[in-house]
Amino acid sequence: MSSDTDLAPVSCYLDEETFRLSCQLFIQHSSSIKDGWSWVQENASLEGYMTKTVVVAGKTALDHCRNGHSHLEHEADAMSVVEQQVDDEEEAPGQQLEADGHGVMRYEYHVLYSCSYQIPVLYFRASMLNGRSLSLADVWNSVHPSYIKRLLQEPWDTITQQEHPLLGQPFFVLHPCRTEEFMRPALETAHAQRKKVNYIVTWLSVVGPVVGLDIPLSYATAVGAPSLPDLC
Amino acid sequence: MWRAQRNDQHNSVKVAVTHIATAELANAQVKSCCSGKGSRARCVVSSPTRRADNRACSGGSGIRCLGASAPFCRERRRVGRWFVNRSHHLCVTWRQERMADDKDVLRDVWFGRIPACFTLYQDEITEREAEPFYLLLPRVSYLTLVTDKVKKHFLKVMKAEDVEEMWFEYEGTPLKWHYPIGVLFDLHASNTALPWSVTVHFKNFPERDLLHCPSNSVIEAHFMSSIKEADALKHKGQVINDMQKKDHKQLWMGLQNDKFDQFWAMNRKLMEYPTEEGGFRYIPFRVYQTTSDRPFIQRLFRPMSQEGCHQTLGDLLKEVFPAAIPQDDEPKRYQVVIHGIEPMLETPIQWLSEHLSHPDNFLHISIIPSPSD
C-alpha cells in the first residue's frame, strides 16, 4: 500500500458529473435536517443547479437613508461607505429596521456549475417582500466587515452583478477566481488523511458565510463524497 | 517583386507584377521605364474574365494610368502584367493571385458598424419635444460605452429629477448592454429595415431583466471577465495570467477608444496556441436564440477531434443546436449568424474563433428563424 507521503497531485477542479453527484448527496442531508436545498433540472439535459430560498429580517439600513435619491448615487457612494465602515469599525454588520414589512428580505441562493472554470459558482439575489430588488450597494452593506477588507483588495475576488446563465436574469456572483486558493489546502489535507471530501460541502462552507448563507456543521460529518473509481 | 523589361524595338515595356500591387505602384514602375516616351499612353486592361477595356492615360514623363479607376485596378488582390507598346498601350492582364488576407477579416470585424436611430420613450417627461438621434454603432462594442452622445442629446430636453439610469429597448424587449451591440442587432433586428430603431428610457429600470451599469468601470470589469473566461477555456488561463495589469488595461483601452492596432498588439497573444495542439483547448463560444427562456448555450467543445481533424461550425452546431443544420430536402429553418453574416458550415471552428471572435474573445453565434418572404 502506498505510504502517506506518496500523494498524487490533488485536482482542485470539479467535473460536471462529480458536481451533480456531490449536490445530490448534499441535498439528501439537507432534506434530513430540513435545511431547504433542492435541485432544479434544466429541461431534458442533465444540466441543473442547487437552490435555496431564505427569508430574513432586514440587515440593511441603506434604503431608509437614501430614499428619493437615484440608484446611481447608491452605486457611486457604496464603495466609499463600505470602506469607511471597515476603517471605523463602528457599524455592526446589520441594523434592525422597523417591523413594517420593509425589513424582511428574501434571499435566493443558486449553486451552478461553471464549465469554463470547472468549479461551482454561487449566484444569489435578494428582494424585499414588496418586490424591490436589493442593489449592489445593499449587498455590500450586508457582507460581514471581516470579509469586506479581503473582497476590496482583489478586484476579481469581488461581488458583481451578472446574468444568470440559465435564467437570464440579474444575480449577484462571488467571483470564482480564487476558488482554487482556498480549496487546495482543504482538499490536500483530506487527501493526506485518506478522507473523502464532498467538494460542495467544503466549498459552500467557505463562500456561503461571506454572503450570509449559513451551512450547519452537520454537513461536514454527515455528507459523503460521491464514490468514483479513481478516488482512493 | 517587380520586373520591368524594356523592349525598345517594340517600344514596349513589360512590367510583370508578381506581388500585390496598386495601380499607382505599377504605374511608378512603368514611369521609370518610359520616361520621355511620349505624351500619351493608352491603358488597355484585359483579364480572362473581362473583355479588354480601353482607358485613356495621361502621359508625359508622369504616366498616370486612368485605368486606376477601373474596379479591378483598385482591387489590391489582383496582380497583372502591364505593357506599353508602340501606340503606348498599356495592356494589363489581371489574374487573381491570392485570397483576402486573414488580417483583412480582423479589420472588417472590428470596424463593423450598425446605423441606429434612438427615439425617446413617449412617456418620458420632457420640457419640449425630443428629436430622434442617429448614431453609427460599433458592432463589437457595448451600448452603454458608446451612447454618451445619446444621453447628452436627450438630457437637453429633460429635467434632472426626471432622469435615472438610461436603458434601451427594442420593440418591447429591454436590450442587455452587456451583450456586444452586433449580437443584439443580429438577434433582434437583423432582418428588419435599417436604421435600427432603439427606444431610450430614463425611468422604470427593469430590475429583473437588465444588469445595472453605473459607470464605465462596470463595463470594463465585465469585458475583462469575459476575456479571462475565454482564456480559461483556450489556455487554462495561462496566457491572461502571464500578462501584466498594464497589458489588460491595453485591451480595454483599445476597445474603449476604438484602437484596432493597440488592441490586437495584446490580443494576438490570446490567439496563439502550441503548434502541436493544432488549436485551442476549448473554443469560447455562446449560441443565442430568442425563442428559448435560456439566454444562451455554452458548452465545452474541442476544435480538434481525437484523430486530429479540424472541427467545423457544422460539427459544433450538431452538438449544441442540431435543429440549425438544414436537412437535405427541407427549406432552411434557421439562419446561423456571426457578425451579420452566415459563415459556411464547413468553416473550421478554430479559424472562426481566431478571426470572428469579438474583442471579448468569445464567438457569439445568433440563431434566428429564416425570414419567410
Res. B119: pLDDT tops 60: yes
Res. B26: pLDDT tops 70: no
- Domain-embedded: residue B18: no
Q: Which pLDDT value is given to residue A177?
A: 67
Q: Mark which of B199, B214, B229 sits at the end of a domain.
A: B214
Res. B94: pLDDT tops 60: no
Residue B51 or B319, more confident: B319
User: Which residues have C-beta within 8 Å of that of residue A84, sequence separation ≥ 6?
Assistant: none
Residue A185 or B283, more confident: B283
- Domain-embedded: residue B229: yes
Domain extent for B194: 29-66+112-214
Backbone angles phi, psi at B29, to 5 degrees: -65, -45
Domain at B266, CATH number: 3.10.20.90
Coil, strand or helix at B157: coil
Residues B209 and B222 in one domain: no
Coil, strand or helix at A230: coil
Res. B21: pLDDT tops 60: no
Q: Which pLDDT value is given to residue B206?
A: 95
Residues B286 and B320 in one domain: yes
Under an 8 Å CB criterion, which residues of B touch A?
163-165, 176, 178, 205, 207-212, 214-215, 218, 221-222, 225, 228-229, 232-233, 284, 293-296, 298-300
Chain B residue with the nearest C-alpha to that of A13: B236
Distance CA A103, CA A99 (A): 6
- Interface probe, candidates A161, A171, A174, chain B, greatest B C-beta count within 10 A: A161
Q: Which pLDDT value is given to residue B42?
A: 38
B207 and A133 in contact by Cβ < 8 A? yes
Q: Which pLDDT value is given to residue A87?
A: 43
* CB contact at 8 A, B212 and A72: no
Name the DSSP letter for residue B312.
B
Residue B89 or A9, more confident: A9
Overall average pLDDT of the B85-104 stretch: 47
Instruction: State the cell numbers at B133.
Output: 438621434
Beta bridge partners, B169, equal B174, B199
Distance CA B218, CA A78 (A): 14
Res. B44: pLDDT tops 80: no
Select from B163, B295, B299 the Cβ nearest to the Cβ of A168. B295
Q: Which pLDDT value is given to residue B73?
A: 31
Residues B178 and B319 in one domain: no
* Residue B100 pLDDT class (50, 70, 90 cuts): low
Domain at B203, CATH number: 3.10.20.620
Q: Which pLDDT value is given to residue B228?
A: 94
- Domain-embedded: residue B20: no
Residues B250 and B299 in one domain: yes
Q: Which pLDDT value is given to residue A24?
A: 94
Residues B190 and B308 in one domain: no
Q: Is B291 exposed, middle or buried (0-12, 13-18, 19+ CB in 10 A)?
A: exposed
A70 and B165 in contact by Cβ < 8 A? yes
Residues B319 and B337 in one domain: yes
Q: Mark which of B162, B183, B214 sits at the end of a domain.
A: B214
- Domain-embedded: residue B11: no
Residues B208 and B227 in one domain: no
Distance CA B308, CA B291 (A): 35
Overall average pLDDT of the B96-122 stretch: 83
B207 and A160 in contact by Cβ < 8 A? no
Distance CA B107, CA B360 (A): 15
Please give the single-letter amino acid code of residue A54: V
Residues B167 and B259 in one domain: no
* Residue B201 pLDDT class (50, 70, 90 cuts): very high
pLDDT digits (tens, 9 = 90+) for B343-365: 999 999 999 999 999 999 999 99
Residues of chain B neighbouring A166 (CB-CB closer than 8 A): 294-295
Residues B157 and B243 in one domain: no
B208 and A169 in contact by Cβ < 8 A? yes
* Residue B27 pLDDT class (50, 70, 90 cuts): low
- Domain-embedded: residue B133: yes
Residue A188 or B4, more confident: A188
Residues of chain A neighbouring B176 (CB-CB closer than 8 A): 163
Pairing type for strands B363-369 and B285-288 reads: parallel
Overall average pLDDT of the B61-78 stretch: 31
- Domain-embedded: residue B7: no
pLDDT digits (tens, 9 = 90+) for B161-195: 989 999 999 999 999 999 999 999 999 999 899 99
Query: Complex ipTM, two decimals?
Result: 0.75
pTM of the model: 0.75
Q: Which pLDDT value is given to residue A154?
A: 56
- Domain-embedded: residue B364: yes
Residue B34 or B305, more confident: B305
Beta bridge partners, B288, equal B366
Beta bridge partners, A124, equal A109, A172
Chain A residue with the nearest C-alpha to that of B177: A163
Beta bridge partners, A112, equal A121
Distance CA B262, CA B267 (A): 9
CB-based contact (8 Å) between A70 and chain B? yes
- Domain-embedded: residue B346: yes
* Residue B28 pLDDT class (50, 70, 90 cuts): low
Question: What domain count does chain B have?
Answer: 2
Run means of pLDDT, 10 residues per run, chain A, 232 residues: 49 87 94 94 83 77 34 41 42 39 80 93 90 80 72 64 94 80 82 85 88 87 74 40
Radius of gyration, CA atoms only, chain B:
27
Q: Which pLDDT value is given to residue B274?
A: 92
**Residues of A with catalytic roles:** 177
Among B331, B319, B304, CA closest to B365: B319
Residues B209 and B240 in one domain: no
Distance CA A110, CA A104 (A): 20
Please tell me the distance in Å from A13's CA to the nearest CA on chain B.
12
* CB contact at 8 A, A103 and A57: yes
Chain A residue with the nearest C-alpha to that of B205: A71
* CB contact at 8 A, B345 and B325: yes
Q: Which pLDDT value is given to residue B243?
A: 96
Q: Mark which of B214, B243, B274 sits at the end of a domain.
A: B214
Count CA atoms closer than 13 A to A176's CA, side-chain side: 24
